[in-house]
């Protein structure tokens, strides 16, 4: 099993060499770091999916030991990070410590990195040592696809940030934008679907156009979309662009980027060459490298396939995958959003608690609510409710319980912040 997994990891990711070096030195990490005494669930990934799963396991059965493995010291929220990039909010508004999960629920938070999975004896190898588990939940987020044939590598992200994982990248793009010269051009590349947060790139483009307009910079933002059309809330975004940003925003769909010349800041596409002052290149996405590394992605696939009722991995027993890394088709009709990751965290918490107690969990039921700013004062949204369908064995959208508003509004801009504060509290506090 381990060999097959590792082969697929090397084939599917550009950091296969790093993977081999982990095998070489994994021996020193094998001593048990925290000896397992009781029922134990390890959660890898401290984002919306992982933290919610950890918290709701404790809420469902406090007797289970829960260890959250997270390599970063802080949670930085992707939702609202577009507002930080254009200076409407500060980094500290979207940055949180993990301490309340420890204090309020007794979850052990370990700042460490998952290296390897020994699925035969339920052991996770981390940089701090081995951890045995009864159940392992993985919620590692997305990974990025490098494409050397067009000159795109993740080594370039200090110069052409994606800012698609909030934190340092958010700060780089914020600084670049604050230094944008008069008449400057920003290019925003929208990745091929599926990717994390379908409306996210269009919200960012709207806010950058708004930034250019508010500051009388006289420049523009050009959206290069690899998809056939705007992938989410299309009519509402386009109406806002038409009403507000005719001078500041240009939208092109079906764009293939053929080359990126970062030295001269020129992007070559099937529709021509464009010179920019800022290139916000959001690369195509796949499951996080951690999911590949632990052998949870099938050969030649980009996302982790799961059982849609329990979220147990199709590859490894007792291991569950939630959040953006899951193959959407194997779950149902849900998008890759923070709210869905939060919903999945609750479903998987019930799933593993039921399994550890010899019971059958109830059918999955999830919801999504997602607000996007179209200016500094107005927002739009998309929402849906999902239930498990016995016929398709998938979680599908309930008829009538989904949609978008008729138009943008100021009150929805207010709701976006309240929504964020509540989902942060439900996930982290």
Partner 1 sequence: MKVRFIFLVFLFLIAASFVFAETYEKRIVIVCAGCHGTNGASVGDSIPIIGGQKASYLKKVMMEYKNDKKVGSVMPKIAKGYHDERIDFVANYFSNKQWVNTNKPFDKNLADKGKKIADVCYDCHGKLGEGIEAFPRIAGQPVFYLKQVLFDYKNGVLKSDEMSFVSEYSDVDLEALANYFSSIRR
- Which residues of this chain interact with partner 1, rule CB under 8 A? 55-56, 339, 342-343, 346-347, 350, 354, 361-367, 369, 381, 383-387, 398, 400-403, 405, 411-412, 414-415, 417-423, 425-426, 429
Answer for the pair 231, 193: CB distance below 8 angstroms, yes or no: yes
**Residue 346 CB, nearest approach to partner 1 (Å):** 5
**Residue 354 CB, nearest approach to partner 1 (Å):** 8
**Residue 96 CB, nearest approach to partner 1 (Å):** 13
Nearer to partner 1 among residue 129 and residue 405 (C-beta): 405
User: 10 Å Cβ neighbour count for 244?
Assistant: 18
**Residue 194 CB, nearest approach to partner 1 (Å):** 21
Nearer to partner 1 among residue 145 and residue 354 (C-beta): 354
**Residue 167 CB, nearest approach to partner 1 (Å):** 22
Nearer to partner 1 among residue 157 and residue 416 (C-beta): 416
Answer for the pair 23, 319: CB distance below 8 angstroms, yes or no: no
| Long-range pairs of 269-274 with CB within 8 A, sequence gap ≥ 24 | 269/224, 274/185, 274/187, 274/222, 274/224
Nearer to partner 1 among residue 86 and residue 379 (C-beta): 379
SS3 253: coil
Nearer to partner 1 among residue 2 and residue 398 (C-beta): 398
**Residue 400 CB, nearest approach to partner 1 (Å):** 4
Alpha carbons 196 and 81: distance in angstroms, whole number:
14
344: its two tokens: 């999945």
298: its two tokens: 């099938």
Q: Pairing state of beta strands 257-261 and 266-269?
A: antiparallel
Nearer to partner 1 among residue 33 and residue 75 (C-beta): 75
SS3 320: strand
**CA dihedral of 370, 82, 161, 232, whole degrees rounded to 10:** 30
**Residue 389 CB, nearest approach to partner 1 (Å):** 13
160: its two tokens: 């052409």
Distances in Å between the Cα of 94 and the Cα atoms of 27, 74, 157, 210, 291 are 38, 10, 21, 21, 26
Nearer to partner 1 among residue 195 and residue 309 (C-beta): 309
């Amino acid at each position: 099993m381990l060999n097959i997994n590792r082969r697929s990891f090397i084939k599917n990711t550009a950091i296969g060499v790093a993977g081999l070096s982990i095998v070489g030195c994994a021996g020193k990490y094998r001593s048990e770091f925290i000896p397992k005494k009781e029922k134990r669930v390890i959660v890898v990934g401290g984002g919306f999916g992982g933290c919610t799963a950890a918290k709701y396991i404790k809420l469902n059965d406090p007797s289970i030991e829960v260890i959250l493995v997270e390599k970063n010291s802080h949670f930085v929220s992707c939702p609202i990070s577009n507002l930080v990039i254009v200076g409407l909010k500060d980094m500290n508004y979207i940055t949180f410590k993990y301490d309340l999960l420890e204090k309020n629920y007794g979850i052990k938070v370990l700042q460490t990195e998952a290296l390897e999975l020994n699925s035969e004896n339920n052991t996770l190898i981390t940089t701090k040592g081995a951890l045995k588990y009864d159940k392992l939940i993985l919620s590692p987020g997305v990974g990025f696809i490098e494409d050397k044939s067009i000159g795109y590598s993740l080594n370039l992200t200090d110069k052409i940030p994606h800012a698609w994982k909030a934190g340092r990248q958010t700060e780089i793009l914020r600084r670049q934008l604050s230094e944008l010269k008069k008449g400057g051009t920003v290019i925003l590349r929208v990745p091929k679907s599926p990717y994390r947060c379908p409306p996210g790139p269009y919200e960012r483009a709207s806010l950058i156009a708004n930034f250019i307009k508010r500051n009388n910079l006289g420049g523009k933002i050009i959206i290069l979309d690899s998809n056939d059309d705007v992938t989410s809330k299309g009519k509402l975004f386009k109406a806002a662009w038409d009403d507000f940003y005719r001078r500041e925003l240009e939208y092109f769909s079906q764009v293939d980027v053929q080359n990126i010349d970062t030295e001269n800041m020129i992007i070559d596409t099937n529709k021509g060459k464009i010179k920019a002052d800022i290139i916000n290149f959001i690369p195509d996405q796949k499951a996080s490298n951690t999911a590949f590394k632990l052998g949870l992605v099938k050969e030649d696939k980009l996302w982790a396939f799961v059982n849609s009722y329990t979220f147990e991995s199709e590859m490894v027993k007792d291991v569950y995958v939630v959040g953006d890394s899951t193959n959407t088709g194997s779950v149902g009709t849900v998008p890759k959003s923070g709210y869905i990751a939060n919903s999945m965290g609750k479903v998987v918490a019930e799933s593993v608690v039921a399994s550890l107690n010899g019971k059958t969990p109830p059918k999955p039921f999830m919801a999504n609510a997602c607000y996007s700013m179209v200016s500094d004062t107005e927002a739009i949204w998309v929402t849906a409710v999902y239930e498990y369908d016995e016929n398709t064995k998938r979680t599908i959208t309930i008829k009538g319980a989904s949609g978008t508003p008729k138009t943008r509004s100021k009150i929805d801009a207010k709701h976006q912040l309240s929504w964020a504060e509540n989902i942060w509290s439900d996930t982290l506090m």
